[in-house]
Structure 1
Amino acid sequence: MMTRRQGLITAAALGATGLSRGAAAQGAAAPATAPTVRTPVNFQVPPGACDCHTHVFPDPQKFPFWSGRVYTPPIATADDLLNLQRALHLDRVVIVQPSVYGTDNAATLDGLRQLGARRARGVAVIGPQTTAQELDRMQQAGIRGIRVNLETGGITDPARAAQVLEAALAQIQGRPWHLQVYARLPLIEALQDRLSGLPMPVVFDHFAGAQASAGVDQPGFAAVLTLVRSGRAYVKISGAYRASEEAPDYPKVAPLARALIEANPDRIVWGTDWPHPDSAVLAGRAATDIAAPVPVDDGRVLNLLTDWAPEAAVRQRILVDNPARLYDF
């Protein structure tokens, strides 16, 4: 019999349990997420700029959470996301399916519908039960890739990770999609050869899992740089707070960002990770308790891009050109 932890690992990584929306026990609606742009943007954001990593968490009475989730976020609607876009002077956005919904992408797809095809694209989480017809409908709705969340799933064994990746690849074979991977650096290094040979782009979340305190020489980071330099992988310079606790400017993140950009500015995209969900498993906090978001000043973090990429032409590639290519805007 599969234990709850085994089920969580599989579902968080690939959504393999196939639990329905109605399976999640729901409480009252959580309080709405507060605005996160406290510092005005201080540079000219180019037209068509894209936030490549966000989530939406609408009313759980309409879009229930998965019962096996490890945290419960506050409400963060598509309207809230649009307000963030306007405050940051951004024109495009990518909504990524979060682990709290398992393989039920309804909330993500509804967010895409509300924001419209000119502004929004999405990344889904699928499982073995996801049909080709469902994938076709996702394509029409704006989905351009799938996410394999090895980190939240607790998968650190390369052999097990390879199995999960192969299952995902088999399902989307032949589609013009990419594979988004959230994993630790040692796991990426162990899978480097396999990842470099994928027939589709691979995209690493959140600085590819690098930790700022360990610097650019930390084990596994060289493998990421090699994949980026060769054009075989994209990296999201997103969620700086996940790489460092030195808010609000995360100074030790800068060397990581600069190294990735220098390796290949045509394979770097930027994102907020809004609304900054706190997915940590904390003593005394049940998975059904509302987890307050990590406090982040999104305006201040966007301004850091002028330090990481001082040249406007490079920021154009990171904010506009690369997302347009990757997400088919």
Structure 2
Amino acid sequence: MPDQHQPAPHLAGFQPPAGACDAHCHVFGPGARFPYAESRRYTPEDRPKEVLAALHARLGLDRAVLVQASCHGTDNRAMLDALRGAPERYRGVAMIDDSTPEAELAAMHAAGVRGIRFNFIAALGGEPDLATVRRAADRVRGLGWHMVLHVQGEGVREMRDTIRALRMPVVIDHMGRVDPAQGTAGAAFHALLGLLQESEDIWVKLSGAERMVPAPFHAALPFAQALLRAAPRRVLWGTDFPHPNLAVAVEEAALLDLVPLIAPDPGDRHRLLVGNPATLYGFGD
């Protein structure tokens, strides 16, 4: 069977500026070297660091944030191996639990990890105990890390009090995975906008358009545009390559071509791709 996520041999029409960052992407395996978690809900095709680097070279993206995915669980070795291979260009977001040793946190920081992620998507096995989330936040706050939350729709509204109490920067994945059928006036999206507007600690990724609407993904633009208007200095953009658990093939060049539509103003566009990820992830430090 042909690989449904094999990049098509063409470039995006939009050429990103120097220092542009894919702030949400993954490496998977190779499984023979970095086995997938026994408790995983899905088994992806291998997408090692070499495949990711080739994608970024094709798109003209100079930096990336590698986000640990649930299929690898708290075994962060594949992600860390990629970070150590390109320390000036890569940063990471890890998954940890109560058993993660302090020495491992220090080693991850040295490798370029700058955040931890918790998944609250039920279909992906995401049912972390909130006390565990709070303990993890307490452990990494002193490192200057942030928290990434993968929630869906009403999850943002349901977790508002928890998010406010974390006392650290919090990044919401994929525009909160809101239901596009409810529009930008929907309760879930309204809650996300409100959280973004009321706290300087809240960030959001303008990614996941391919999970919301069909290609060419333009129906997701009103959501991304509203989030950028609400907090132009706290939005990030990413491909979500290689789009785990998505049934259709995605051409990442089409996702990149959304950027000038999301951010027509050159200043907003530069912040989205370069300045904001540099601020949050310390590129250049």
Q: Is this a same-fold pair by TM over 0.5? A: yes
Distance in 1 between residues matched to 2:46 and 2:233, nearest whole Å: 34
Distance in 1 between residues matched to 2:165 and 2:139, nearest whole Å: 17
Quote the offset at 1:33 in angstroms. 7.7
Partner of 2:89: 119
Quote the offset at 1:53 in angstroms. 0.7
DSSP 3-state at the match of 2:167: coil
Structure 1's 79 and 183: CA in aligned 2 closer, same or farther, altered over 3 A? same
Partner of 2:206: 237
Q: What is the percentage of aligned positions where both structures have the same residue?
A: 39
Distance in 2 between residues matched to 1:193 and 1:45, nearest whole Å: 37
Alpha carbons 1:31, 1:75 under 8 Å: kept:
no
DSSP 3-state at the match of 1:220: helix
**For structure 1, which segment, 230-239 or 318-327, has the greater mean C-alpha deviation from structure 2 after superposition?**
230-239
Identify which of 88, 94, 117 aligns with 1:147: 117
Quote the offset at 1:32 in angstroms. 7.4
Partner of 2:72: 101
Identify which of 262, 272, 277 aligns with 2:244: 277
**For structure 1, which segment, 255-264 or 38-47, has the greater mean C-alpha deviation from structure 2 after superposition?**
38-47
Quote the offset at 1:97 in angstroms. 0.6
Distance in 1 between residues matched to 2:201 and 2:149, nearest whole Å: 13
Quote the offset at 1:93 in angstroms. 0.3
- In the alignment, residue 175 of structure 2 is paired with which amino acid? F
Q: Rg bigger for which structure? A: 1
Note the 1:1-329 alignment, pairs <5 A.
35-114=6-85, 116-151=86-121, 152-155=124-127, 162-230=130-198, 231-244=200-213, 246=214, 248-278=215-245, 294-329=248-283
- In the alignment, residue 158 of structure 2 is paired with which amino acid? A
Partner of 1:26: none
Distance in 2 between residues matched to 1:65 and 1:135, nearest whole Å: 21
**TM-score normalized with structure 1 length:** 0.80
**For structure 1, which segment, 64-73 or 38-47, has the greater mean C-alpha deviation from structure 2 after superposition?**
38-47
Distance in 1 between residues matched to 2:182 and 2:65, nearest whole Å: 29
- In the alignment, residue 125 of structure 2 is paired with which amino acid? G
> RMSD across aligned C-alpha pairs, in angstroms?
2.0
Quote the offset at 1:169 in angstroms. 1.3
Distance in 2 between residues matched to 1:89 and 1:317, nearest whole Å: 17
Distance in 1 between residues matched to 2:205 and 2:184, nearest whole Å: 16
Aligned residues: 280
- In the alignment, residue 193 of structure 2 is paired with which amino acid? L
Residues 169-211 of structure 1: per-residue CA shift (max 9 Å, x gap): 1322312100000012322212223323432110011111212
Distance in 2 between residues matched to 1:237 and 1:253, nearest whole Å: 10
Gaps of 5+ in 2: none
- In the alignment, residue 257 of structure 1 is paired with which amino acid? A
Alpha carbons 1:33, 1:76 under 8 Å: kept:
no
Quote the offset at 1:306 in angstroms. 1.2
- In the alignment, residue 131 of structure 1 is paired with which amino acid? P
Structure 1's 320 and 256: CA in aligned 2 closer, same or farther, altered over 3 A? same
- Flag as ranges the 4+ runs of structure 1 deviating above 6 A: 30-33
Quote the offset at 1:161 in angstroms. 5.2
Quote the offset at 1:212 in angstroms. 1.8
Distance in 2 between residues matched to 1:170 and 1:149, nearest whole Å: 18
Residues 201-227 of structure 1: per-residue CA shift (max 9 Å, x gap): 100111112122221122221221122
Distance in 2 between residues matched to 1:161 and 1:209, nearest whole Å: 20
Structure 1's 294 and 96: CA in aligned 2 closer, same or farther, altered over 3 A? farther
Structure 1's 36 and 106: CA in aligned 2 closer, same or farther, altered over 3 A? same
Residues 47-79 of structure 1: per-residue CA shift (max 9 Å, x gap): 110001111113211111111111111111111
Quote the offset at 1:37 in angstroms. 4.6
